[in-house]
Amino acid sequence: MNAQVKNALVAKLTALADDEVILAQRNSEWTGHGPILEEDIALANIVQDELGHATLWYGLRQALDGSDPDQLAFFRDAYEYRNCELVELPKGDWAFTMLRQFLFDLYESLWLEAAQHSTYKPLAEAVQKIVREERFHLQHTSAWVERLGLGTEESNRRLQQALDMQWGYAQQLFVPIPGEELLVAEGIVPDLSPLRERWLELATRHLQNAGLKLPINPGYQPTSRAYHTEHLWSILAEMQSTARWDAEAKVW
């Protein structure tokens, strides 16, 4: 693997891991505050899975450049993170949280499905592991979208508001990172454009079946993952506080 391809792969793995870490941190804000006990448990499970996936992505990066996953998660500043803006938006209400997780799960499932045959063996192996866990997420969150969309007038209104807010942000999931075309050419990661078409088709069908209207005006459309909303600073301050107080703190 030449240096350019390697650098692009390091950047891509960072983006994949950062998405999972920030989304997991956001969703973990519901722990102990879920609308019902079962959902508190379910979302905590999903969070744990996403953190497991982040560990695998950072681990692949570590094998390439020797970086330490804990350092990356707990000692990088917001401007060094490469997550999409969708995952850093405040958690909002339950409809906002479930819709975001659904949009993300659908993207992730399609990406993983396409990445299973990556020419980079360590990536293909990680994907084959993750894809088995991911299907439980999409099953769960797509059911929630249906339930809220077809539920009461209020649940439908809240979900529609969430969709109007998130639809533009979600498009960033399909914006390639700088150098991504090199990885696509090598068959290391899938091309995002056909995935976006498939995502649009499946998301549109499911959202419309759930009684929602797709926004005509997509709202804010993010571009580069180097930009962030102001919310990333506060979420990182909270997430990193223990590690920055006591760098020797361990998981147990």
Partner 1 sequence: MTTLPNTEQVWEALARIPDPEIPVINVVEMGIVRDVQIEGPRAIISMTPTFSGCPALHLIREQLEATARSLGFAEVEVKTVLSPPWSTDWITPEAKERLRQYGIAPPKPRAGQEGVLIQLEAAPTRCPRCGSLNTSVKNTFGPTLCKAIHVCNNCKEPFESFKTV
Binding site for partner 1 (CB under 8 A): 38, 41-42, 44-46, 48-53, 55-56, 109, 113, 125-126, 128-130, 132-136, 138-140, 142, 251-252
* Shortest separation between residue 177's beta carbon and partner 1, angstroms: 23
* Shortest separation between residue 46's beta carbon and partner 1, angstroms: 7
* Shortest separation between residue 231's beta carbon and partner 1, angstroms: 24
67 by Cβ neighbours in 10 Å (0-12 / 13-18 / 19+) ranks as middle
DSSP per residue over 60-119, as a string? HHHHHH---HHHHHHS--GGG----GGGGS---SHHHHHHHHHHHHHHHHHHHHHHTT-S
* Shortest separation between residue 58's beta carbon and partner 1, angstroms: 12
* Residue number with CB closer to partner 1 (11 or 56): 56
CB 237 within 8 A of CB 78: no
* Residue number with CB closer to partner 1 (56 or 192): 56
* Residue number with CB closer to partner 1 (53 or 228): 53
* Shortest separation between residue 224's beta carbon and partner 1, angstroms: 29
* Residue number with CB closer to partner 1 (137 or 225): 137
* Residue number with CB closer to partner 1 (182 or 189): 189
Which two three-digit tokens encode residue 239? 């997430």
